Homo-oligomer: A and B are copies of this chain.
Amino acid sequence: MPPAKTPRTKSKANRPGKTASMSDVAREANVSIFTVSAVINNKTHVSQVRRQRVMDAIAKLNYRPNLLARSLIKQKTQTIGMVVSDIANPFFPMVVRGVEDAAQSRGYNLLLCNSDDLIEREERQLELLLSKRVDGILLVKATGELSPSLRQMIKEVNIPFVLVMRTYPQLTRDAVISDDYQGSYDAVRHLARAGRRRIGLIGGNLKISNAKERWRGFRDALEAENLPFDPALVAEGDYRIESGFRAGQAILSHRPDGIYVANHLMTIGLLTAAGEVGLMCPEDFGLVSFDDYPWLGVFRPRLTTVELPKHQLGSEAAELLIRRIEGDQSSAVLRKLQPELRIRESCGFGLHVSGSSKSR
């Protein structure tokens, strides 16, 4: 017999345990599925009676639209993916917060991944995000090169990317970063003005763009202050505590009188190393560190730092990304936020020296 107008397997009453669908609501309200959709998205005008019937049904069935289905057909998930090297690095939470705030306020959710700064993990995460069809991706690029095939795929699906904190021209020109050169320059100059002459550097992996910039700033500041560059006072770390510790052991034995450390975690490592050999800050060496945190104001030594606008970094990146997602085709933007030197006492007579964060 012909498959008459019988509701096929469609008919599924309010079977419990199963979340109600649009057709359930439609049946309950005695209207078409279209009508339900219309009132939910309040599109075309729906007569008062029907609208009310639908609303009642929705309430009664405890209906909640399935955003998966909507995403599937609209080709839009209202979700942005973010892969960060390590959310437990105190630098990132505030950045993520900025992202979340901006995303949330524009109706996007955040899918967060850690790459541990490992290229393989980063690639896995990116592939997953692509498969989950996020609308755009915020990336704190791990050290290393993306595989050509992945890059190819990214180009093809044409999904917006915005780099955060680290540039990587192979991928995109959109990036929101801090002016690391300037921050570094200011930090070292401050050290010099505080009378330090043998200034050391504990930097990040030089494959990372901001580590390179910070290194450049260090070199240029030394030169500007007519200070010698001593390779024995320079170490390349990886932005983690342990590397700061080892770098500290290496550098401190050469007796620098000032050290500039390119991030907070490595500073902790350095201070640990200093403690072990009984060297004090600022008595034995002046110190300027990157990234500022609330607790740095209350503990001693009260560290002089170069603060980066973390929240803003995140929110601007998210806003840029969302603009791209929503069709902004304007030319690439490289947003460089200015750091701010926060002078405390870790360089000696810091309080009375004027900072120079405004230059350039």
Is there contact, CB below 8 Å, between B299 and A19?
A: no
Q: How far is the CB of A220 from chain B (nearest CB, A)?
A: 30
Chain B: minimal CB distance from A246 (Å)? 15
Interfacial chain B residues near A67, Cβ < 8 Å: 131-133
Instruction: Report the bound CA distance from A100 to B93 in whole Å.
Output: 14
Within 8 Å of chain B (Cβ to Cβ): is A112? yes
Q: How far is the CA of A62 from the CA of B295 in the complex (A)?
A: 49
B298 x A271 contact (CB < 8 A) = yes
Cβ < 8 Å to B, chain A residues 177-217: none
- Residues of chain B within 8 A (CB-CB) of A93 are 87-90, 92-93
Q: Is the interface of A mostly helix, strand, loop or mixed?
A: helix
Give a binary string over A52-81; 1 marks a CB under 8 Å from any B CB, 0 the rest.
000000000010111111011000010100
Q: How large is the interface on A (under 10, 10 to 19, 20 to 34, 35 or more residues)?
A: 35 or more
Closest to A131 in B: B67
Tell whether A326 is near chain B: CB-to-CB under 8 Å.
Answer: no
Flag if A299 contacts B297 (CB, 8 Å).
no
Residues of B within 8 A of A157 (CB): 19, 64
Surface stretch bound by B, among A30-38, A103-111, A138-146, A252-260: A103-111
Q: Which of B62, B295, B311 contacts A153 (CB 8 A)?
A: B62
Closest B residue by C-beta to A96: B87
Instruction: Say yes or no: A62 contacts B156, CB within 8 Å.
Output: yes
Contacts of A158 in B (CB 8 A): 17
Does A114 belong to the interface (CB within 8 Å)? yes
Instruction: Let me know if A128 is at the binding interface, CB within 8 A.
Output: yes
Assembly CA distance A109 to B83 (angstroms): 11
Give CA–CA (A11, B74) in the complex, Å: 19
Taking a contact as CB atoms closer than 8 A, the residue among B62, B72, B104, B241 that contacts A69 in the complex is B72
Report Cα–Cα, A6/B149, bound state, in Å.
Answer: 35
Find out whether the CB atom of A72 lies under 8 angstroms from the CB atom of B62.
Answer: no
Complex-state Cα separation, A89 to B94, whole angstroms: 9
| Interface pairs (17), CB distance under 8 Å | A17-B158, A19-B157, A62-B152, A64-B130, A67-B131, A79-B111, A79-B132, A87-B87, A87-B100, A93-B93, A97-B114, A110-B111, A241-B294, A264-B295, A275-B298, A299-B300, A300-B301
